[in-house]
Amino acid sequence: MKMELNLVEEFGPRLADGEQAAEFRMGRIDPYVGICEEMVLNFTGIRNANSSFINALLAGAIEQHGEGVLQCLVFKGCNPVVRVLVESAISLGLDKVAGREIA
């Protein structure tokens, strides 16, 4: 099963509320991890984002489900600013998982 989540349709062109991102992740991403072979997060049309939103969305998913969640996530339509934030959130999530495994 493939699923695509169009973020501009859900939130508009600015991604800024980390709490909103966490709620979205828990309701629209977490339940489908393990069911979907491919989950596309479509950032097309997103003009601006902040680390609070992207970290809650992606680092939280990695922390919740482990590194394997990256096998099904596909990032589409990222502008350069969003791309940097996505890469940073992935790194943060992986660091949190690694820290939890060490402890």
**CB-based contact 100:92 (threshold 8 Å):** no
Least Cα distance to 74 among 52, 60, 58 occurs for 58
- 76-100 pLDDT per residue, tens: 999 999 999 999 999 999 999 998 6
pTM of the model: 0.92
Confidence of residue 102 (pLDDT cuts 50, 70, 90): very low
For 2-102, the fitting CATH number among 3.30.750, 3.40.50, 3.30.530, 2.60.40 is 3.30.750
- Edge-to-edge strands of the sheet including 73-76? 2-6, 38-42, 73-76
